Structure 1
Amino acid sequence: MQKILFLILFFIPTLAHAQTDKTFIHENKIYQPNIKTVLCYNSSREQSLPVIQLNTLETITFSFDDLLAGTKNYWYSIEHCTSDWQPSKISTIDYLGGFNDDRIINYRYSSNTTRKYTHYELSLPNTQIQPKIGGNYLLKVYLDGDKNQPVISQRFYIVDHQVAVAAEVTNSMQVMERNSKQKINFTINHTMPIPNPYQDLKAMVMQNFNSNTLQINTRPSFIRPNQLVYNDLTTNDFWGNNEFRKFDTRSLRYKADNVKDIYRDNESVNVLLFQDAPRNTGAFANQYDENGNFYIKNTDGRDDKTESEYMGVLFTLNATAPDTSGDAYVIGRFNNYTLGKENKLLYDAGRKQFYASIMLKQGLYDYEYAWFNNDTKTLETQPFEGSFFQTENTYQIFVYYRRPGARWETLVGYANISNKAEDRR
């Protein structure tokens, strides 16, 4: 028991000094180690995708926690981006109404928690900042009104609906991969003139809102009156992967799904998960998951946002390394499927075990294990999770259009579909 506690406490992430990076990058990123649990979603449903329609009452909810507690002077601004998340290089007058930036004034202190923190929150559009055009947007949070002190960058989408997208999920057309891959066919229906769809229109497809899976479509297979068809035999194939693993820490009074032990004292809360095994052999086993999502929940208290504990969660994977050149990671929407020191798994060759401890906020989490090959620079879950056509996944399709002579791309269409016929927006 003491050895287990030592391992847990040894690998609990610690707060460090802020990074010296002085510039924002155009992706979801946390620049300060004291910032945790960044959430960004359509306000109509918790942890939905951060997609809203232009000129409607829909809003984006954005929030985060500062583990240094107290009160800080956080400011934010938004920037219009191209379909591939580069700066659009247009004036803020072209895409913003109101002001260019504003201070985050909505914050609350944690209560009844072992670790103290401050919860910050805002919604967009608001009375100060109103986007005027559709497209990709980057939300930038920085300290003391100084953009050279970056804190968070977060992507979100505003759709100016001008086209309709119809899509279906089917087996891969490649015979050898029909049992392991899923293929997306879709059609863009439009009434507006599109003189050159090969040049002016792009469609991006991704799986489970994971940007690592993104596929770009620039050439429709067929062009029909008011219709563009994308069903080429060799495009938009995705690994089916497997259902996500999950654990439940909505209550710390008892051990729920996949929780082996809970240790707490006056200074910390630590959760030990059951050891995981590879799932890359054998038949597909159907189970309900949230397609990589996570939810901050606390059934022991009254307020999920300020009464949920921060925990050190110990992951253990009993598996051999797929090869000698690579690293394993635990990923999900809780970390934007990104690779970092915090979610990198350490390998014990003697025990043939991978393990890592990650600081997470109390709730319900989906996760999976992935292998990054340092030689090919590819990230794959198949070595640990396998891949099956039967796996339930959601797919997001974003359609961008640049009108002839226009200086920016507009997000004119969006669809979110599931191979189980369930829209999980």
Structure 2
Amino acid sequence: MKFLKIFFFVATIVFSNTIFAQELEVKPPKNIGTVQVFNPSKNDNTPIIRLNSNETLLFLFDDLDAGYKRYNYKIEHRNADWSESGIFQSEFLVGINSDYVRTHKNSFNTYKRYTNYQIQFPNRDMNVKLGGNYLLKVFLNDENNPVFTKRFAVYEGNVDVGMSSSRFINPRVKDLNQKIQTVVSSGYQNFTETPDGAKLFIMKNNNWNEHITDLSPDFTRTNQLTYNNVDWTFEGGAEYNWFDTKNLDVPGLTTERNFRKDSVYHTVLRVDFPKYNLPYDDFGDVNGNFYIRSNRYGNEYLAASEADYTWVYFALDAFEDQNGLYVPYVVGAFNNWEISEASKLKFNKDSQLWENEYFLKQGYYNYQYVVVNTKTKRVEPSYVSGSFWQTENMYQGLFYYRPWGGRYDILMGYGEVNTRN
């Protein structure tokens, strides 16, 4: 049950929009679209790379106002709990401490005009020399007033993080049905020197908000920590819903229709419905991720500046809000799993459906419906679609350690496991 408390606490922070959440996760304004962290080595949105390797991250975003603006960026070092570490830039940074976004391109042959910006990290002018959590800030003139922020991490790789998953059965809490076991090993680090210095953070499907942490290891050896407690348990959830807008001339399998109005595309998705009371439905997904694509061009990499935008209309039928007790939201990597007014579904008395719309770039998208309990303020991710132990998920383990006398947390190791492996 500790997972429930920890995850729901984090979700409540995002939902209540506290000062800390605002500082860490600055939501982009309406003119900024398709904020993306892309990991070329993994071909997905995994925001984690290894220190002193050939791995890079691409941070991409569009300015829907179109026309060039001088966007700047900088990075900040953070502790394991994302609090400010307070260390000097010279302690973690190599090169300059801020720069302007050098790669940009205006959209081409699109109804919606925009300018695409890209940041590669690390680059020839900026790198880091410490493993840890980092915050990317993008701003125009004032770094203390960022346009948006994105989280990422760099690990040193000097410890091994071995992970495995298994089915978990608890008739009292049936939604908690995927258990994660983790073994952290090191050839040189003595973990008994600073027992409280070790912190293991496990998140699900690249979603920083859905995680468990701050639990003690079950077995401690000089160079090895074993985490095998029943508290390391997640809701398996269900496979993500999906839609495909690569081709806006014809509807995809989950699309009702596409049309163009007022010089912009519109995509109406087929109506979804709750599946919590149905058997497990096994179909492929990309674990909440999204990919920008357009089939108009032979080279898919041109999609960053040549894919168009479309209004995507979501609709949920037969949803039981229990007289206002549960409020539904549509989330995924496309909106950073954000619980906000923008992601809330609203009831349409005419259609008798719960609806929402997002202005999204062409591509392949995963999404899911979650609810917030208005009494407990807790996010319940399985209320609409159910939770099944068979669901394919990726879990990622980040191991932090603060040596004796250390002033900040070091991300020493990273591991991951897929529940189908």
TM value normalised by structure 2:
0.90
Listed as ranges, the gaps of 5+ residues in structure 1 are 1-20
Match 2:30 to one of 24, 28, 33 = 33
User: 1:177 Cα deviation (Å)?
Assistant: 4.3
What pairs with 1:155-194 in structure 2 (closer than 5 Å)? 155-172=151-168, 174-177=170-173, 181-191=177-187, 192-194=189-191
Where does residue 368 of structure 2 map in the other structure? 368
The worse-fitting range, judged by mean Cα deviation, of 377-386 and 217-226 is: 217-226
1:79-117 Cα shifts (integer Å, max 9, x gaps): 000111111111101111111101112100001101100
The residue number in structure 1 matching 2:284 is 288
The Cα offsets for residues 123-177 of structure 1, whole Å up to 9 and x where unpaired, read as 1111221111110000000003x22431110101100112101111112253444
- Give the match for residue 319 of structure 1: 318
In 2, the alpha carbon distance for the partners of 1:322 and 1:197 equals: 48
What's the offset of the Cα at 1:348?
A: 3.2
CA RMSD of aligned residues (A): 2.0
Q: Find the residue that maps to 1:334 and give its secondary structure.
A: helix
Runs of 5+ consecutive residues of structure 2 not aligned to the other structure: 1-17
Which residue is 2:265 aligned to?
Answer: 269
Which of residues 231, 234, 237 in structure 1 aligns to 2:233?
Answer: 237
SS in 2 for 1:383: coil
Report the CA distance between 1:266 and its aligned residue: 5.5
Identical aligned pairs, as a percentage?
34
Question: Do the aligned partners of 2:34 and 2:61 also contact (CA within 8 Å) in 1?
Answer: yes
Contact preservation (8 Å) 1:372, 1:378: yes
Structure 1 window deviating more from structure 2 (311-320 vs 215-224): it is: 215-224
Structure 1 stretches of 4+ with a deviation exceeding 3 A read 21-29, 175-180, 348-352
- Which residues of 2 match residues 350-369 of structure 1 at below 5 A? 352-369=352-369
Report the alpha carbon displacement of residue 311 of structure 1 after superposing the two structures with TM: 0.7
Question: Higher mean Cα deviation, 70-79 or 36-45?
Answer: 36-45
8 A Cα contact 1:24 1:150, kept in partner: no
Q: Give the AA of the match of 1:278.
A: P
* SS in structure 2 at match of 1:122: strand
What is the CA distance between 1:193 and its match in structure 2?
A: 1.5
Deviates more, 1:239-248 or 1:167-176: 167-176
1:327 deviates by 1.8
- Say whether the 8 Å CA contact 1:139–1:154 is kept in structure 2: yes
| AA aligned opposite 1:239 | E
Task: Give the distance between the partners of 2:418 and 2:411, measured in 1 at CA.
Answer: 21
User: For residues 198-242 of structure 1, what are the alpha-carbon distances to aligned partners after superposition, in whole Å with 9 as ceiling and x for unaligned?
Assistant: 310000111112223211144110113422111123x11111110
- Using structure 1 for the length normalisation, give the TM-score: 0.89
Matched residue type, 2:259: Y
